Structure formats: structure tokens, C-alpha cells
Amino acid sequence: MSGARLGRVLGLAAATSLALAACAGGGGGGNGGDASSVKIGFMGDLTGENSAIVIPPYNGAKMAIDEYNAKNPKVKIELIKYDSQGKADQATSLLAQAVNTDKIVALIGPAFSGESKAIGGTLEESKIPSISPSATNSGLAGNGWKYWHRVVANDNDQGPQVADFLLTAKSPKKAFVLSDDQEYSVGLAEAVTKTFKDKGVEVETDKFAQAASDYSSTVTKVKAYNPDLIFFGGYYAQGGRLLKQLRDNNVTTLFASGDGSLDQQLVSGAGEQAAEGAVIACPCNIPSADATGTAKAFYDNYKKTVGSDPAIYSTEGFDAATAYIKAVEEGKTTSEDINNFLSSVSFEGASKPIKFKANGEPENNSIFVYQVKGGVLKLLGKSSEAKLGG
């Protein structure tokens, strides 16, 4: 091959390489300005013991992005999932891959509070915007992070509202509040405890390890205290086991929990008879088959796309993805531009009107109450209006 021809070939190869790089687009930080596609991550427990809380928001996010890409937009979005199993150390290593190797421009998640706390600082340093569909620990909003957001009410909203509901429904004089040692569990239990005490209820508390399976020490304390109600601030995997052991030891007191327990596996873990009457609060309104309007449209589309009914935080996952979609539609394809866009985004979401406060919290918060009836979780309504059954 002649030198001149070799030069032309090398020049063509270099030009082709540059064109391919431009088409790839979607880098982190300041990259992706002329992108034809961008990468957005989804991080959470997708295969662990509490994955039923995270798979629905992932499905919702994927549904939103698939609908967007099907319109053949100028800039497409690639959704990359990162299965942290809800563990802070796994979230940390996955984030390094997401930022440095995959070059995501934004993140949906993390789903849980502990992993959110663990990687929030790194997201901030990397200037990668995040929107969690389900992390509720109130302290996350107090870190001064400018790239952190969530579309769900925090535990300082959830805890007092579910406590007020229980106070109205049961007028307890004594309550026992339990948690395991996970970030979310502790935060929600503390919020409920404070409200009970502020309202003159006598409260006893106890905490056990997340990995524990025998709660006999805790059960003994609860039984001896003989409370008027029990509140557990944790996830359904632990909640189901706890509830079963309480009932096996003839503790029949009303059992209540928060959004982390809002899954049918709470019932299967405890047993249908043991779980009957249990109350679960959630900053989520799950669309049902008899919904109307926007909620009905979401229900039908989710059912058709995913093959199952919407579940906890499916609408919040959809809304988190939609916020990013709206940014990309406005030509915001770098992390910094997307983050700036989030400060003023405002739209009617599937879960609620979506708008962020300066600290990343959602402007609109409502808490809903569910109860196990006939082995199935039934929506009772907003905590301010719901009536306890059974």
C-alpha cells in the first residue's frame, strides 16, 4: 500500500471513529451535548430479599423510556440497570462502573435509604443527578446535595401521618415500636415513636439485626409489655417473619408498618391468618382495575406491558423517568444541564403532580393506608380520611 493511500485510509478511519464517538454520545458530567443517545441508570434491589419493592418502579421507569424511544426521538435514552440488592457496598462499586465506565448522565435511584446515603456524596462529587422513587429516610434531604431528588414523601411525613391515623383509629395508651438496624427502618420507627410520645402515648422500643431470623427476645418483650398496638418500621421480608412469630406466641395486638412492608409477601411470610388485619401505610397510591382517568390509563398500560397489576412505587418509577425524559426532550443531554432542568420541572405525574423543592424533596406529599383483608392488601384511602376495618 502506498504512503499516500495509507494516509487517506487512516484519515478516513479517524473521521469514522470521530463520527461513531459523536453518535455514541451520552457521557457523564459535561459530555453528551451533541448526543444521539444518553444513558440513564436504575439502581436498587432487583434480586434480593426485598426486591418486590424495587422491581415495580424499575418496570415503571422502563415503560416510560420504552414509550419515549418508540416515538423515534432525536435523542434516545438507554436504561441501564444496576442490581445493588439494597446493599450499600454493592451500590458503591456499581456506581463507580456507572459513572466511569458506562458514562451515565443521570440515575433513577437508589431505591433504598441506606444505599442512597452511601453513594449520595459520590453522585454529588460526580455531578450526576439522581431521582429516587422510593428512598424515604428524612435525613437524606439534609445533606445539602444539589444533584439529589426524590418523588416520594419522606419518613417525617409518613411517620406522623400513619401514627395520627392509628391514634384516631385505636386510641392507644401503650404502643411498642420496632425496627431492624437498616437506615430506613430506624428512621421510620423514630418518626412514629416521636409522634406517639408527643401525643401522650406510652412507648416502648426495640431493635434487632437485619440478618436475624429468630425474634424470640423481641417477641418476649412485646408480650410482657402488652401494648395496644405494634408498629414495625421495616421491610416485608423481616416484617413477615416478625408478624408470624408474634402470632405464634399469641400476641394478637394490631400490627402496623410502613411502605417497606407493602407487598403481598408480607402476607405469605407471616401466613394469611397471622397477617389478617395488619395495617400498612405508604406514600403511594397504587392504581387499580377500577381506577378512572389518568390512573386507569396507567393501570391498563402497565398491565399490558408488564403482564401484572401495578404495585408499590410503579408510578413513582414512571414519574422519575418522565422527569428525565422531559429534560432530554428540551435538549438537555449533559448531567449538569439535566440537573438544572430538574430545578424548574413541573408536570402532572402518574403518582402526583411532580415538582421539586430546592433540597430535592417533592412538593406534593400524601400518605395512603392499606389493610390486609381476606389475605389481600386493600386500599383504605388517604390517612386523613381512611377508616380501619375489622
Helices and strands (H, E) in the chain, number of each type: 13, 14
Which tens digits make up the pLDDT trace of 105-116?
A: 999 999 999 999
CB 131 within 8 A of CB 324: yes
Q: How confident is the model at residue 201 (pLDDT cuts 50, 70, 90)?
A: very high
Q: Enter the C-alpha cell of residue 351.
A: 403518582
Give the residue-averaged pLDDT of 31-46.
85
Q: What pLDDT was estimated at residue 365?
A: 87
Distance separating alpha carbons of residues 366 and 261, to the nearest angstrom:
17
Residue the block writes with cell 484519515: 11
CA 219, 221, 225, 230: dihedral to nearest 10 degrees? -40
Segment 347-367 shows an average pLDDT of 94
Residue-wise pLDDT tens digits, 2-20: 333 333 333 333 333 333 3
The mean pLDDT of the chain is: 91
The pTM assigned to this predicted structure is: 0.85
Return the pLDDT at 290: 87
Collapsed DSSP state (helix, strand, coil) of residue 57: helix
C-alpha cell at 111: 431505591
pLDDT value at residue 34: 63
Grid coordinates belonging to 350: 402518574
**pLDDT of the residue at 366:** 85
d(CA 194, CA 36): 51
